[in-house]
Amino acid sequence: MDELVTSLACVGVVGAALTGGTVFAFSTFIMAGLKRLPDTDGIRAMQSINKTVYTPWFMGPFFGTALLSAVSVVLGILNTQSTWSIAMIVAGLMFALGAFGVTAVGNVPMNTKLHGMNADDPAAAAYWQRYLVVWTRWNHVRVLASVGSVLLFVESARLTA
In tens, the pLDDT along 3-28 reads 999 999 999 999 999 999 999 999 99
Distance, CA of 1 to CA of 7 (rounded, Å): 10
pLDDT score of 11: 98
- Contacts of 82 by beta carbon, 8 Å cutoff, 6+ apart: 1, 2, 5, 76, 159
C-alpha dist (Å) from residue 147 to 18, 93, 113: 10, 13, 28
pTM, full prediction: 0.94
- DSSP class of residue 116? T
Give percent of the chain with pLDDT exceeding 90: 98
The per-residue pLDDT string of the chain (161 residues; one tens digit each, 9 = 90 and over) reads 889 999 999 999 999 999 999 999 999 999 999 999 999 999 999 999 999 999 999 999 999 999 999 999 999 999 999 999 999 999 999 999 999 999 999 999 999 999 999 999 999 999 999 999 999 999 999 999 999 999 999 999 999 98
Q: Which among 114, 107, 92, 108 has a CA at the least distance from the CA of 44? A: 114
